[in-house]
Amino acid sequence: MKKIFILIGITSVLLIIIAAILIGKNMVGTQMTFSAKDAYELERFPFEKTIIRQPSESNVLIKDIFQQAKEGKVPAISVIAGESSLDEIIGQWGEPDNSITAGDGVYIDYADVTFGYRENIVFDVRSSADNITRIHFEDITKFMGEADEQRYFKDDSVDQIILVYQVNDVYQLKWILPRPTDADPNPMVHHISVYTDPTKLAEKEPSLLETMTLDEKIGQMIMAGIEGTTPTPETINLIEDYKVGGIIFFSDNLTSYSQSLHFINGLKRINAVNKVPLFLSVDQEGGRVRRLPGLEELPTNKDIGLRNDPELSYRIGNILAQELKAFGMNVNYSPVIDVNSNPDNPVIGDRAFGDDPNLVSKLGIQTMKGMEDENIIPVIKHFPGHGDTSVDSHLELPRIDKSLHELHEIELVPFIKAIDAGAEVVMVAHILFSQLDSEYPSSMSKPIITDLLRKELGFEGVIVTDDMMMDAIENHYEAGEAAVQSVKAGNDIILISEHYEEIVESFEAIKSAVESGEISEDRIDESVQRILDLKDKYEIHHEQVEYQDLQAINDRIEDVLQ
């Protein structure tokens, strides 16, 4: 009798398996017409990865993939569909692992990246990077909505779906996944593809970057401080002759609201002859660091940290952004996300939210988002962390003797979390981290900027130096020398707060370094494209700023103080 029950049990299991197989076959459905290119795109990655991913991480990554796709790129790859050439790829990546002709052109493989090209121009950029292949089908559809088109492909080895999103007039973003089934209704991504029609490449107009001269490009990489409360001849030269990409304002430039508005509108009129509008930037942190006249003082970050109120932190960021908008500015060097771990720190102090890296992360990110939501560009600072110094970098070069592991435990925590939350600009401090780079301070250090910030932490936005006129730099380097080394280290923008002659010296030194081959023009192009993309995203423009009543902003500040 026992053997009979065992036999019945085995038979039942077999019947269930057979039924599941038959149901799976019935789910296949009708196949759509497919090109050879699409077939290759599916055959390129025949095996699934099965790593679990947190939904919140997926949303951040999907948003980044979508934003990059609008520019013809995939995350972590500088190649641009419709713009980059085969020669550039071979020069950077070497010979491909594999090459095949299919459909629209030739496809070449490099590890987890594939490029499709035609007549030397890339039209398709694909990635199967580990973080991308952890995204699930439902993550995509919930975040991006229904696809503009669904395609299907099946052969002996794969049965897959392609979700096609037309992200703009030029680019499609394709998500390629196993077809959902009852057994696996929420599969993970095989790879993504950012695609532009190769038949239209010849019709495409040159990008803004392609129309720019070397002088115009280098100018975009300089954030210049100016003297006076009206445009001086030197200021006009910086804009008209050196094409500087931005201006930083201090209290000496801004005596009243009406004067400030007149001054800023005057600078915008002068710059209107240039191709690219200006970054107009300021340190408006709240508390003791503020530059804009006619406004009530906001609480310090320390006060906000003591209240441990993320909603308050968001409201502060929102108000700071409204202050800048009223003055016609678009970049704020805030929030400070240094962890104030050294009570003897002479420069950070109450500018920090506190000495707990998780508290600093939580509140700093909310201040950042409060500004972003008002279309003001926040700058998180001072990477990789100024909280454990006992020297003011305005007066001398601080030194911190910590390992990378120690920095990961405290100083780097807020920066990593802010980058994950979508930070778009990072300011680098003037500090000598001897265990990371014994020769150059962080603002001039390739190991810290390129190796740590770019490669290890994956930051793809704009990197700006702290003020190069601070004594930490000025006491040790000539202006031109410091500017060249800062570009070689990986900075996109060199901030020079004063001295017309030293701004010009920095410009000329970078130009000479490019002309001599010390810095490649491709390296300049990388930075300028990031700057142009940021200006485009935040809709920076030449238009004049209209007068506003500051009382409405002051009323909001009073509400916060209560």
Closest to 179 in 3D by CA, of 62, 58, 74, 48: 48
The token pair that represents 334 in the structure block = 């805030």
Q: Is the peptide bond before 382 cis (omega within 30 degrees of 0)?
A: yes
Q: Are strands 191-195 and 121-127 parallel, antiparallel or unpaired?
A: antiparallel
Rounded Cα distance, 246 and 230, in Å? 16
Spatial separation of the C-alpha atoms in residues 45 and 128, rounded to whole Å: 8
Residue 114 in 3-state DSSP? Answer: strand
The catalytic residue among 394, 408, 476, 525 is 394
Query: How far is residue 132 from each of residues 135, 247, 549, measured CA to CA in Å?
Result: 6, 38, 47
> Using CA atoms, how far apart are residues 413 and 47, in angstroms rounded to an integer?
35
User: Please, are residues 370 and 321 in contact by the beta-carbon 8 Å criterion?
Assistant: yes
Residue 518 CB burial class (10 angstroms; 0-12, 13-18, ≥19): middle
3-state secondary structure 437-463: CCCCCHHHCHHHHHHHHHHHCCCCCEE
Q: Which two tokens stand for residue 157?
A: 């080895």
Residue 350 designated active-site:
no
Q: Which residue has the tokens 């076959």?
A: 25
Written as one string, the DSSP assignment of 196-254 is --GGGGGGPPPPHHHH--HHHHHHHTEEEE--SSS--HHHHHHHHTS--SEEEE-GGG-
Determine whether 334 is exposed, middle or buried from the number of CB atoms within 10 Å of its CB (0-12, 13-18, 19+): buried
| List 283, 437, 466, 467, catalytic entry | 466
Q: Which residues of 522-543 are buried (b: 16+ CB within 10 A; e: fewer)?
A: eebeebbbbbbbbbeebebeee
CA 497 and chain centroid, separation: 24
Rg (CA), the chain: 27
For residue 394, indicate whether it is catalytic. Answer: yes
153: part of which helix (H) or strand (E)?
Answer: strand 149-154
The full 3-state SS of 354-378, as one line of letters, equals CCCHHHHHHHHHHHHHHHHCCCCEE
126 and 219 Cβ atoms separated by less than 8 Å: no
Closest by alpha carbon to 135, among 66, 76, 70?
66
Would you call 269 helix, strand, or coil by DSSP?
A: helix
One-letter amino acid at 230 equals: T
Q: Which residues are catalytic?
A: 394, 466
